[in-house]
């Protein structure tokens, strides 16, 4: 048997009816250099690596046989050495170890397959491919295990992060810069007042929650962090979307960048720091208040260090008392200021304070000033301790009592002249009492004026704004359909209505308009009706027109009567009371009486103090009047106010004006002014109804004009700000209907209505925030067609104007004019 010829791997060789790789080429004779090619299947081609393909040119195989051998070896070098090195440089250490081990195993399998014979020949390329495939499967399996481990670790880290964020109460965001896709955790939704998962997280949702005043700064901080690659930190406010509450948050975020430096993600957390902000603000206010109290106190204040015993802080008043500037006092001790004879007493007190025997001490001693003067002071000192309970410093309040000490010395010297001293003190006491009474009177008058001022502000501004607000909402309700916006407007209208009701009640408590418009008698009648709501039946007896009183006198009597009736409700244990007002030539007398529990006359003074009647008596004394209180157990109480009347000409009454109007023949009868054809201005076709608006508030006039402009059959021909202007404009413009406010300066709506009703055919519709029975009756007697409350104008004004212009008389108008918006109690 001849020796085995050398074999070189070529492209392909038939084997067992098929094709196996790599092929074997037999060399017949080394000397001839010729090759014998086995039969080949030319329809199939083998490719090893990327470096050669099958060719049918036989002679070239002999020349490039060794080249065919080297090229696969070079490919193996690339696959088994260079490629793994390149791959290792781009993988993590763990993955690099996996690939490195897989490459080593692949190399070993290739070598074994190439060297070990199979059936008398070397291993074919199919065995090589199987070895490579096994190795690759092994590598992929290890990589999948690694990926599985990484995914598990990632989930575990995410769970830990979520638990940490939830435990810390932190909201989290994660935004992709390219797609702007944003993810929030549940705490972020909760802090911003949203309900996850709707609406979806994003910039729009975040911007909607940021307080408008802070939005610009917050956006600038984010842009700066992006450009400067810095941490984003900016405390700002948000508005919770569910409750509308303003809260403070503290975001902390950063941008994540790729290799070229482009921002890929924006991630961060934020927390609610509202409580911290409130605490800081309270601390700043407390510190500021302490600083103000310390620096501006009318008495001296000083702080002394327990360690050095020296002053560490003094205010200006202490410097004035001690006679040293603040800089000089910083190097001194209280001993340096104390008179030598008084130091022992002061030392004993300080020692007890430091030992903890006492919390504070008070003493009177003398200070030696820098100029040699001696001042008596009263020192009140307290020890300040740290959180551990150790002494830190003492704080003292120092009051200059030199004058008091001198006064005491003077009193001692005046002991021999007792009568003179008593006389002087009696005189001083009398003068002090006089000044006190004068001060009390001034305070009472000031209180009444302030009540009237506040009531005026509430009525003339706040109430009018609420009325305009209701007008605007009413207009909106007329134009909007059914749905959530309409429900919200209805709720807002109800809130404004309650606010207006409360405002009217507050105005009535401060200074009821009926007192200013109609006097004390009408105010007492109104007061009796008001107390029906408290379960007290009050019978009021008062003349139609009380004697002329100043506003201060009328207000004092009214407030005193109200206080006494309130005491009846609280203490008398009865359901009935009686109020009477009568007068003679020189005095006006007001009595408030009940048949309740009463009290013992022996305890009268104590009862007066308990019932708050001391101030009532002082007020009456200040006006030159008197106040008496008679009571006995089980027999009720009688309180009597007596006020002297100064001679003056009686003021003309409202009744006189009304009677005069009738006697002059200027009829206030509406029937004489109602047109028989529906509109006096008709000329061939129906003309718009000419309307004049009269109100002393520009906003109200604008609201009324806006309310009426939507009606084509209404023409607003003018506006007036008071009764005088209304009368003049009515003469020139001749409006068909005048919408008249009742309470106005210069001339009120009642008097203006009376004048217009006597001379013009215009129909007057009154407007008032306070539509009490007295106001309603007064407008009716003055000749008005109707009275509307301002909060009802949205629903009733247009209809009432049409009825007035068309001459429609209500069903209840046989004896009195219709007042569709009025109520009896105001």
Pairing of strands 786-789, 763-768: parallel
Phi and psi at residue 60, in whole multiples of 5°?
A: -65, -25
In degrees, rounded to 5, the angle at the alpha carbon of residue 136 between the alpha carbons of residues 135 and 141 is 100
For residues 130 and 205, state if they share a domain: no
Domain count, the chain: 7
For residues 689 and 633, state if they share a domain: no
Top mean pLDDT of 156-160, 386-390, 503-507 is at 386-390
- Other C-beta atoms within 10 Å of 318: how many? 27
Lowest-confidence pick of 84-93, 419-428, 453-462 = 84-93
DSSP state letters, 280-303: HHHHHHHHHHHHHHHHH-SSEEEE
Torsion of CA 704, 709, 714, 720, to 10 degrees: 40
Q: pLDDT tens for residues 631-688?
A: 878 778 888 888 887 654 344 343 333 333 333 333 333 343 334 333 443 444 568 8
Angle between helix 484-510 and helix 418-457 axes, rounded to 10 deg: 150
For residues 602 and 707, state if they share a domain: no
Instruction: Tell me whether residue 253 is in a domain.
Output: yes
For residues 23 and 160, state if they share a domain: no
Instruction: Tell me whether residue 176 is in a domain.
Output: yes
Measure the CA–CA gap between 793 and 767, rounded to whole angstroms: 8
- pLDDT at position 74, please? 52
802 Cβ partners below 8 Å, 6+ apart? Answer: 689, 713, 808
98 Cβ partners below 8 Å, 6+ apart? Answer: 139, 142, 143, 146
What CATH number is associated with residue 780? 3.40.50.2300
* 620 neighbors 587 (Cβ within 8 angstroms): no
Domain coverage including residue 220: 169-279
Q: pLDDT tens for residues 54-76?
A: 334 444 444 444 444 454 555 55
Shortest CA distance to 114 belongs to which of 69, 60, 51, 66?
Answer: 69
Overall pTM surpassing 0.75 (yes/no): no
User: Which stretch of DSSP H or E encloses residue 373?
Assistant: none
Q: pLDDT tens for residues 424-452?
A: 788 888 888 777 777 776 777 777 777 77
For residues 658 and 801, state if they share a domain: yes
* Residues in the chain, overall count: 826
Q: pLDDT tens for residues 160-199?
A: 666 666 666 788 888 888 888 888 888 888 888 888 766 6
For residues 792 and 661, state if they share a domain: yes
Last residue of a domain, one of 279, 312, 343: 279
Q: How far apart are the first and last CA of the chain?
A: 137
Helix, strand, coil shares, percent, the chain, to 5: 50, 20, 30
Last residue of a domain, one of 487, 511, 535: 511
Instruction: Tell me whether residue 9 is in a domain.
Output: yes
């Amino acid at each position: 048997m001849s020796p085995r010829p050398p074999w070189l791997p070529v492209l392909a060789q038939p084997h067992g009816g098929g094709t196996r790789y790599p092929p074997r080429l037999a060399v017949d004779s080394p000397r001839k250099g010729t090759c014998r090619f086995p039969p080949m299947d030319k329809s199939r081609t083998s490719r090893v690596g990327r470096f050669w393909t099958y060719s049918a040119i036989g002679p070239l195989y002999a020349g490039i046989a060794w080249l065919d051998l080297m090229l696969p070896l070079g490919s193996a070098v690339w696959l088994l050495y260079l490629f793994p090195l390149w791959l290792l440089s781009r993988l993590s250490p763990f993955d690099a170890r996996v690939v490195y081990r897989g490459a080593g195993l692949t190399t070993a399998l290739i070598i074994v397959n190439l060297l070990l014979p199979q059936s008398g020949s070397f291993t074919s390329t199919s065995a090589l491919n199987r070895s490579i495939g096994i190795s690759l499967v092994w590598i992929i399996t290890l990589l999948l295990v690694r990926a599985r481990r990484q995914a598990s670790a990632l989930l575990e880290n995410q769970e830990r992060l979520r638990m940490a964020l939830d435990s810390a109460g932190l909201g989290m965001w994660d935004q992709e810069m390219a797609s702007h896709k944003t993810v929030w955790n549940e705490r972020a939704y909760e802090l911003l007042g949203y309900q996850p998962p709707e609406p979806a997280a994003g910039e729009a949702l975040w911007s909607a929650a940021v307080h408008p005043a802070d939005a610009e700064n917050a956006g600038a901080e984010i842009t700066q962090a992006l450009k400067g690659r810095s941490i984003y930190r900016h405390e700002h406010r948000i508005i919770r979307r569910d409750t509308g509450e303003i809260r403070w948050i503290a975001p902390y975020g950063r941008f994540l960048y790729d290799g070229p430096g482009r921002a890929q993600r924006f991630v961060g957390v934020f927390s609610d720091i509202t409580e911290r902000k409130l605490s800081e603000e309270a601390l700043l206010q407390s510190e500021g208040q302490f600083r103000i109290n310390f620096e501006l106190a009318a008495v001296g204040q000083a702080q002394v260090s327990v360690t050095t015993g020296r002053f560490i802080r003094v205010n200006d008043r202490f410097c004035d008392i001690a006679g040293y500037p603040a800089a000089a006092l910083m190097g001194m001790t209280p001993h340096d200021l104390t008179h030598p004879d008084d130091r022992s007493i002061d030392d004993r007190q300080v020692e007890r304070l430091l030992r903890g025997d006492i919390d504070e001490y008070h003493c009177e001693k003398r200070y030696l000033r820098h100029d040699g003067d001696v001042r008596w002071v009263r020192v009140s000192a307290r020890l300040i301790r740290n959180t551990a309970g150790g002494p830190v410093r003492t704080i003292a309040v120092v009051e200059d009592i030199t004058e008091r000490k001198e006064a005491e010395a003077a009193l001692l010297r005046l002991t021999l002249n007792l009568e003179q001293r008593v006389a002087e003190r009696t005189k001083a006491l009398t003068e002090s009492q006089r000044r006190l009474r004068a001060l009390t009177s001034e305070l009472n008058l000031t209180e009444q004026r302030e009540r009237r001022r506040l009531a005026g502000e509430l009525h003339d501004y706040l109430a009018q704004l609420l009325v305009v607000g209701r007008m605007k909402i009413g207009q909106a309700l007329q134009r909007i359909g059914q749905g959530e916006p309409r429900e919200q407007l209805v709720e807002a209208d109800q809130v404004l209505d309650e606010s207006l009701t409360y405002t009217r009640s507050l105005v009535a408590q401060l200074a009821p308009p009926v007192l200013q418009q109609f006097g004390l008698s009408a105010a007492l009648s109104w007061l009796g009706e008001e107390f029906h709501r408290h379960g007290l039946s009050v019978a009021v007896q008062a003349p139609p027109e009380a004697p002329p009183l100043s506003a201060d006198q009328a207000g004092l009597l009214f407030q005193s009567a109200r206080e006494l009736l309130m005491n009846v409700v609280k203490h008398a244990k009865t359901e009935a009371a009686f109020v009477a007002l009568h007068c003679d030539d020189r005095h006006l007398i007001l009595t408030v009486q009940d048949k309740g529990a009463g009290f013992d006359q022996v305890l009268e003074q104590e009862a007066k103090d308990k019932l708050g009647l001391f101030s009532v008596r002082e007020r009456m004394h200040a006006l030159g009047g008197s106040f008496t209180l008679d009571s006995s157990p089980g027999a009720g109480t009688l309180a009597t106010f007596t006020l002297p009347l100064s001679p003056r000409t009686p003021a003309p009454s409202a009744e006189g004006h009304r009677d005069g109007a009738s006697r002059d023949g200027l009829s206030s009868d509406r029937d004489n002014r109602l047109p028989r054809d529906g509109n006096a201005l008709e000329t061939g076709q129906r003309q718009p109804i000419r309307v004049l608006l009269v109100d002393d508030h520009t906003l109200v006039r604008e609201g009324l004009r806006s309310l009426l402009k939507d009606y084509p059959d209404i023409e607003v021909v003018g506006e007036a700000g008071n009764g005088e202007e209304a009368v003049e404009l009515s003469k020139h413009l001749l409006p068909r209907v005048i919408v008249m406010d009742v309470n106005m300066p210069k001339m009120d709506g009642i008097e203006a209505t009376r004048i217009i009703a006597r001379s013009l055919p215009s129909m007057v519709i009154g407007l008032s925030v306070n539509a009490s029975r007295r106001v309603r009756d007064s407008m009716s007697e003055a000749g008005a067609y109707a009275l509307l409350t301002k909060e009802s104008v949205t629903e009733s004004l247009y209809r009432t104007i049409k009825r007035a212009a068309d001459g429609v008389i209500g069903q209840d108008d046989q004896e009195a004019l219709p007042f569709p918006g009025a109520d009896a109690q105001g």
